[in-house]
Amino acid sequence: MSPFADLPLWITVAAFILAAGAVWVAGTRLSRYADAIAREFGIGQAVLGVILLGGVTSLPEIAVTGTAALGGNAALAVNNLLGGFAMQVTVLALADMAIRKSALTEAVPDPIVLLQGVLGIILVAGTLAGIGVGDIAFAGAGLWTWGLAALFVYCIRMVARAEDNPAWKVIGEPPASEIETDDPKRDLSRAQLLGATGLAALAILVMGYVLSTSGEALAERTGLGDSFFGAVFVAISTSLPEISTVLAAVRLGRYVMAASDIFGTNLFDIGVIFLVDLAYPGGAVLNEVGMFSIVAGLIGILVTAIYVAGLIERRDPALFGIGLDSYLVAATYLGGIALLFTLR
């Protein structure tokens, strides 16, 4: 039972908002610290470095879904990840609306972003197939999620190798402007940098527990259900660090960084499903979710495919300075939420 189950509703709401705010602040700082550590220790392009940095970026999702899984709430855990996948892609539409110059996909000439988007679609499709056909418990998780974990590692290896030695590149594009950004590495020693990273990670773990348990109580008391609350409200809360990072990046003209942050983080969020399965005490976790999760995943596939198509075509017309693909993604996501509400 959630520790918030018997508390007044206003206290539960306040705890959820406070935890979401804390995860936002700590997650944003943690992303900067992780990037500084990668540059300080020279691990950014290695496969291990990509996994480490992606895991740090996905720590809010790991904290929330891990707590939910350990508590036996498979619906909240899995749908938080699948809902977050779609929600974070929709953040790119918000970013497009923030710059209001031309279609965002016109300004992202990077094959790595395309690769990340396609691999994310493959991972989600594999997850939905496992939900549809059912899974078999094996070695503390499901046999299907073990396969997804292997596929995830291969995808990360592919991205890391492509970043280190791209097979092709777009020509005729002006170089990106150099942007002065805050660098924690300049102000902190290695020990201080590692210590600050550890404190931010601890804050996320603690607040992630509060976010998960208060969200579980709110889902029950509002009648929205664990699936819908996890796919929408908890997903938005755990995605706040990415929202702030992406909006800051596009305002500085770092469009490739913004798109890569979203598609790269989504790869790791789907990989977290394997950790959820390991933590879940009731057998294969994919057997505990159904049509709601499949629809949530399909929404994520659809919004990602729309942007991948825009990135390939790169002549996407704009209306009022916003790409038509961003309008389509926003409409698809909002329509998807309405559909999920009927399935809750």
SS3 annotation, 23-55: HHHHHHHHHHHHHHHHHHHCCCCCHHHHHHHHH
- Residue 177 tokens read as 């402007």
Residue type, 92: L
pLDDT at 315: 67
pLDDT at 177: 41
Q: Assess whether pLDDT exceeds 80 at residue 33.
A: no
* 37-58 pLDDT, tens digit each: 767 776 654 555 556 666 676 7
C-alpha pair distances (Å), 297 with each of 17, 121, 187, 199, 317: 26, 9, 42, 33, 28
First-residue to last-residue Cα distance in the chain: 21
User: What's residue 176's pLDDT?
Assistant: 43
Q: What is the pTM of this model?
A: 0.85
Give residue for tokens 């520790």.
3
Alpha helices in the chain (DSSP H): 9-41, 47-57, 59-70, 74-99, 111-133, 143-164, 184-187, 190-222, 226-229, 235-238, 240-251, 255-279, 291-313, 324-343
**pLDDT for position 1:** 58
pLDDT at 178: 41
With b for 16 or more beta-carbon neighbours within 10 A and e for fewer, the 101-120 pattern comes to eebbbbbbbbebbbbbbebb
What is the per-residue pLDDT for 51? 62
Mean pLDDT, range 220-227, rounded to an integer: 86
**Cα separation of 122 and 300, whole Å?**
11
